[in-house]
Amino acid sequence: MEEFSRDEEEEEKAKAHTEPSTPRRQEKQDESEQQWAGRNSIEEQLGNEMKSDNWEAKSQDKNEEAAESKEFGGGTDDYNNVANAKPICDTSFGKYDICELAGDARAQGGPGATVTLVSPRAPPKEWQIKPYSRKYLDGLKAVTVRSVPNPGDAPQCTTQLNIPAMVIELGGLTGNYWHDFTDVLVPLFIGARRFNGEVQLLVVNLLPFWVDRYKRIFGQISRHDIVDFENDDGAVRCYPHVVVGYGSRKEFTIDPSLDETGGDYTMLDFTRFLRHAYSLPRDRPIKLGDVRPPGGRRRRPRMIILERTNSRKILNLPEVVAAAEAAGFKVTVAGRPKASYDEFTREMNSFDVMVGVHGAGLTNCVYLPTGAVFLQIVPYGRLE
C-alpha cells in the first residue's frame, strides 16, 4: 500500500490502448526508462528543493524577471481580444514556474515544443519553462514559451479550439504514490478546476499507464482528449488561453490565500472532487449510536490499520488489533491492495478511522469520508 503500481500485464494493455507502438514511441519509452533508472534518489532530489535559490524567500520577494513580465502582463477575460492579451511567466518561485497566455496562443508540439502568444502589446520575449511542480528535479524537459507582436512570427494554426489548454509534465517523481498526489493531482486540481472540465491537457513526458490508473480523476479534470505534446508533430493547436506549468505552494495542502488562480479551493474541495470522480458513497463517518436496520443492531465504527512489510512495522500488531476491537472497532489490517484501484477507493471510503506508520500509503486518507479520524504513527529517531 506504500506505493501502488499495476501488474506488468495491465501496464502493457494500458500502454497499447493509449499509445500505439511505433519506433519513435518505443525510443521515447526506452529513454524514459533510462532516465528513471538514472535519477538520483528521492531524498537527494528533494534535498535540492531547499537549495533552489531560497525558494521560500523568493515566494515573498519577486525577482526582477517576474516584475518585468508583469509590466506588460495581466491577461484579459476576453480571450479573443488579441490586442489586450499578454503573457505572464512568473519564475520567481523557486519550486515551480507558471505562465498564463491569454489571447492568440499557439501550441506547437514535437521534441522542441513551443507555446507562442501573438500580441501587439507584448514585447518579444522567451522563457524556458519546465512545466512540473518541482522544476529542479532530474530529467525534466523544458517547453519554450514566447511572445511575438506579429502573427507572421508565429506558427500557423492547424487546429482552432475555443477552450483553454494546460501544458503539464508527468516526469519528476511521478510514480511514487505520495508524489502522485502532492506533485501532480493536487496541483492539477488547483490549476485546472476553474475551467470546470472545459480544458485540454497538453502533456510532456506522457505516461499512458499512469494516466490510465487515474483516468477517473483526469476525466473530471478535462472532458477533452489528452494530447501527447512531445509527439504532436506537425500540429499547431490554437487556443484563447493557455496555462504552462502547475504547482502548489504547500505539500499536500491547498491554501486559498496563496492560490494564484483565484479558485478559493481547499483540501475539502479536493476530497469532495475525488469522491465525485470515484462515485464514493460516504461523505461522513459513522455516528456513535447509529443502528443498522432492520435488526436494530448498533453499528461499529470501522478501522483500517495499514501494515508495512519491510520497514517501520508495528511490531505488536496483534495486541493493537485486540485493543481496538475491545474498544468497539471493527478492524481490518491491510497490506498492498490486490483489487483494482477503483475498487480500492470504495473500500477506503468505507472506513471511519485510519491508522498507520508514516509512509506513502497514508496518502489514502483522501478517500476517507470528511470527519473521519486519521492517526499517523511517527517513529522516534531516523525513519528507516
The answer to whether residues 295 and 258 belong to one domain is no
pLDDT of residue 122: 78
The answer to whether residues 160 and 297 belong to one domain is no
Is residue 347 included in any domain, yes or no?
A: yes
Could you report the per-residue pLDDT of 197-245, keeping only the tens digit for each?
A: 999 999 999 999 999 999 999 999 999 999 999 999 889 999 999 999 9
Identify the CA nearest to 221 among candidates 200, 247, 239.
200
Of the residues 213, 244, 263, the one at which a domain ends = 263
- Determine the average pLDDT of the residues in 337-348: 88
- For the CA atoms of 251, 254, 258, 264, what is the dihedral angle to 10 degrees? 170
The answer to whether residues 88 and 170 belong to one domain is yes
Is residue 3 included in any domain, yes or no?
A: no
Please spell the DSSP secondary structure of 136-178, one letter per residue.
Answer: TSTT---EEEEEESSGGGSPPPSEE-SS-EEEEE--TTTTSHH
The answer to whether residues 253 and 318 belong to one domain is no
Q: What range defines the domain where residue 42 resides? A: 8-263
The answer to whether residues 238 and 175 belong to one domain is yes
Among 260-269, 292-301, 315-324, the range with the most confident prediction by mean pLDDT is: 315-324
Average pLDDT, the chain: 78
The answer to whether residues 173 and 100 belong to one domain is yes
Could you report the per-residue pLDDT of 40-95, keeping only the tens digit for each?
A: 555 555 555 544 444 444 444 443 443 333 433 333 334 344 344 444 788 888 88
Q: What is the residue whose three cell numbers read 460516504?
A: 282
CATH number at residue 335: 3.40.50.10330
- Determine the average pLDDT of the residues in 125-154: 92
Q: Is the pLDDT of residue 7 over 60?
A: no
pLDDT of residue 259: 65
Is residue 13 included in any domain, yes or no?
A: yes
Q: DSSP character for 222?
A: B
The answer to whether residues 174 and 69 belong to one domain is yes
The answer to whether residues 174 and 311 belong to one domain is no
Q: Is the pLDDT of residue 4 over 70?
A: no
- The helix or strand, by DSSP H or E, that contains position 305, with its residue range, turns out to be strand 302-306
Q: Is the pLDDT of residue 263 over 90?
A: no
Is residue 270 included in any domain, yes or no?
A: no
Q: Is the pLDDT of residue 106 over 90?
A: yes
Is residue 1 included in any domain, yes or no?
A: no
Is residue 274 included in any domain, yes or no?
A: no
pLDDT of residue 239: 97
Q: What is the residue whose three cell numbers read 488489533?
A: 321
pLDDT band at 359 (very low <50, low <70, confident <90, very high): confident
Could you report the per-residue pLDDT of 8-45, keeping only the tens digit for each?
A: 333 343 333 333 334 444 444 444 444 444 445 555 55
The answer to whether residues 235 and 318 belong to one domain is no
Is residue 278 included in any domain, yes or no?
A: no
Q: Please tell me the total count of domains within the chain.
A: 2
Q: Is the pLDDT of residue 280 over 90?
A: yes
The neighbour count for residue 238, using CB atoms within 10 Å, is: 22
The answer to whether residues 78 and 208 belong to one domain is yes
Is residue 273 included in any domain, yes or no?
A: no
For the entire predicted model, the pTM comes to 0.75
